[in-house]
Structure 1
Amino acid sequence: MREKPKYAAALSYNPETDLAPRIVAKGRGEVAAKILAYAKENGLPIQENRELVETLLTLDLGQEIPSELYRVVAEILSFVYRLEGKGR
């Protein structure tokens, strides 16, 4: 039996309208499992990074990520863009 996720967070980012990615969902336990299930059902990319998600859980919903997280989030966005065929 697969262990349930302990933590999950979801980001949204539209480079045309957003200055930085925003927290759109976050949670622990059952909430984390629902976030991941939603992502899988909707074909959204999932990236595992425990340290990042633990930091994201400290932010408020709707809050932009702080500048000290730009580099790690940029790496994740690069991963997502490559998956979607938008990368160079």
Structure 2
Amino acid sequence: MNEFSDTIAVALKYDGLAAPQVTAKDSGQGGENIIELARQYGIPIHEDPALAQILSQIQLGESIPEDLFVIVAEILAFAYTISGQTPSINATITSKD
């Protein structure tokens, strides 16, 4: 087992109008690639293994379910604060065990 095998990354996009959508997801080395791209583009990264696992079950292009609105809203609010942006914003949620 290598150091990337447990990494899960899920990228979300929120335009301020509709629920956030899953725009990318992968695990292992692919997850690490998503994280690296997010870093390169200055996209905020939030590490939450449990949430990353749940979000990874959502199909690409699909909106997050209502039961995740509050937690994702808190993460996006944090992302807005540290990046000085308002919607539209991207965020990446990761699991690095």
- Common fold by TM > 0.5: yes
Structure 2 distance, partners of 1:37, 1:81, is 20
Q: How does 1:1-88 map to 2 (within 5 A)?
A: 3-4=3-4, 6-15=7-16, 18-86=17-85
Residues 39-64 of structure 1 deviation map (CA, whole Å, 9 limit, x = unaligned): 01111100001111100111100000
Give the letter for the 1:22 counterpart. Q
Give the letter for the 2:57 counterpart. T
What is the root-mean-square deviation in Å for CA atoms of aligned residues? 1.5
Unaligned runs of 5+ residues in structure 2 are 87-97
Residues 9-49 of structure 1 deviation map (CA, whole Å, 9 limit, x = unaligned): 0000111xx41000000011011011001001111100001
Q: Which has the higher strand share?
A: 2
TM-score by length of 2: 0.79
Larger radius of gyration: 1
What secondary structure, in the 3-state scheme, does the structure 1 residue paired with 2:62 have? coil
Structure 2 distance, partners of 1:42, 1:62, is 20
Structure 2 distance, partners of 1:85, 1:23, is 22
* Structure 1 residue 86: Cα displacement: 4.9
* Structure 1 residue 81: Cα displacement: 1.0
Q: Alignment length, in residue pairs?
A: 83
Structure 2 distance, partners of 1:59, 1:12, is 13
What secondary structure, in the 3-state scheme, does the structure 2 residue paired with 1:47 have? strand
TM-score by length of 1: 0.87
* Structure 1 residue 6: Cα displacement: 1.3
Larger RCO of the pair (alpha carbons < 8 Å, separation 6+): 2
The alignment-based identity, stated in percent, is 37
Unaligned runs of 5+ residues in structure 1 are none
